[in-house]
Amino acid sequence: MIKIGCLDFPRLSLAPLAGISDLPFRMLNRSYGCRFAFTEMVSARSLTYQSRQTIRMVSTACADRPLGIQLLAEDGDVLQRALAMLSENVYEMVNLNAACPVEKVTKKGEGAALMKNPSKLASLLRVMARNSSLPVTVKIRSGWEEKSVNARDVALYAQDAGVHGVFIHGRTREQRYAGAVDYGVIRRIKEALDIPVIASGDALSPPLIKRMFDETGCDGVTIARGALGNPWIFRETETFLETGEIPSRPALQELMQVMTSHLDMCCDFYGGTAGTTLFRKFYSWYTKGLPGVKPLRETAFHASTREQMVRLIRQVEEAAASAGPGGSLSPTAPGTR
């Protein structure tokens, strides 16, 4: 365990994923070994309005612990008001997003735009450090673009502002989610900082996660796309880090059970139609790389009732069996399949 402020934080955590890391997704990953999860990013301003959508985005349950909340902000007063609304009994950490590359966010001066304005970022972090009794962390990128990679300086500013840990996605805003991860910049941050450094980027399989630890010396890795349709990644990675062995992938039966419980959780949380619609993308992620399922995936994108989706889940085994030998998932994570 790593100490982030007063919090015991595991070396593997579930990263914030907008539109994905809702309560059902977090709970499913927790039941397969995830020991710390984040909400998706929420706007501090929307939090102060308490809109229905925002309340749903940050809603949680007793078993959904420990949990970090991630905020988007560019205004210190709004941030302070949002922090005042967070119950200390619900979240264990508050994280400021200075990494989101989406235009809609950056044009407001939020997310990765803060990489271009380190003094503004530092002032927001000081507001957080002063007004939160929870451990405060920040998520940054390696820089705005290739010619302005400044993550080490930004991380030092953040440390001086009083944050307890730095999360770093080793890509620039310009790269979005593609292209090579800059392991060197993460290593330089780790060497410069006294507080924990948690790395992000291509954490898609146990060997890639080990590579992140080995090449950067980071204290922890936060898993994002590697967990899509793949809650097994947490235990598989722990085993790989301890023994060098990758456990065999789950059998199709287990995959189908997990898909069904995830679907049920989505339907309980959002209602049958909305839950099924939301699950469509998960159907695709869970079945990625399986032989013979392409037509099922296409059909799943039109499923609108739980019963239709359950039928499509049941057909996975038959489709995979008639397409050829198999019976278990491919040995790599979805992002690498």
Residue 110 interacts with ligand FMN (CB under 6 A)? Answer: no
How far is Cα 189 from Cα 163, in angstroms, rounded to an integer?
A: 14
DSSP states along 256-286: HHHHHHHHHHHHHHH-HHHHHHHHHHHHHHH
Residue 236 interacts with ligand FMN (CB under 6 A)? Answer: no
Residue 70 interacts with ligand FMN (CB under 6 A)? Answer: yes
Query: Which residue in 41, 86, 218, 290 binds ligand FMN (CB under 6 A)?
Result: 41
Q: What angle do CA 14, 179, 163 make, to 5 degrees?
A: 45
**Interface mask toward ligand FMN for 271-290; x: CB under 6 A:** --------------------
Query: Which residue in 165, 226, 231, 334 binds ligand FMN (CB under 6 A)?
Result: 226
Residue 203 interacts with ligand FMN (CB under 6 A)? Answer: yes
Burial class of residue 219 in the structure, from the number of CB atoms within 10 Å of its CB (0-12 exposed, 13-18 middle, 19+ buried): buried
Under a CB-based contact definition with an 8 Å cutoff, are residues 15 and 224 in contact?
yes
Name the residue nearer to ligand FMN (CB basis): 72 or 256.
Answer: 72
Residue 67 interacts with ligand FMN (CB under 6 A)? Answer: no
Dihedral (Cα; 47, 50, 52, 57), 10-degree rounding: 30
Query: Residue 249 CB: number of other CB atoms within 10 A?
Result: 18
**Among 50-58, 83-91, 197-205, 318-326, the segment contacting ligand FMN (CB under 6 A):** 197-205
Active-site residue, 100 included: yes
- What ranges in 19-162 are assigned the alpha helix state H? 23-31, 44-49, 52-58, 76-85, 103-106, 118-131, 151-161
CB of 283 to ligand FMN, least distance (A): 16
Q: Which of 6, 34, 62, 100 is catalytic?
A: 100
Query: Which residue in 224, 233, 309, 313 binds ligand FMN (CB under 6 A)?
Result: 224
Query: Which residue in 11, 45, 116, 139 binds ligand FMN (CB under 6 A)?
Result: 139
Query: Which residue in 30, 116, 152, 169 binds ligand FMN (CB under 6 A)?
Result: 169
Q: What angle do CA 240, 241, 242 make, to 5 degrees?
A: 90
Name the residue nearer to ligand FMN (CB basis): 70 or 159.
Answer: 70
How far is Cα 103 from Cα 299, in angstroms, rounded to an integer?
A: 32
Q: Residue 219: which of 238, 245, 194 has the closest Cα?
A: 194
Query: Which residue in 15, 47, 195, 303 binds ligand FMN (CB under 6 A)?
Result: 15
Give me the residues paired with residue 97 across strands. 139
Q: Which two tokens stand for residue 172?
A: 């620039």
Query: Which residue in 133, 177, 180, 274 binds ligand FMN (CB under 6 A)?
Result: 177
Q: Which residues are catalytic?
A: 100
The residues that touch ligand FMN, with contacts defined as CB under 6 A, are 15-18, 20, 40-41, 70, 97, 99-100, 139, 169, 177, 200-204, 224-226
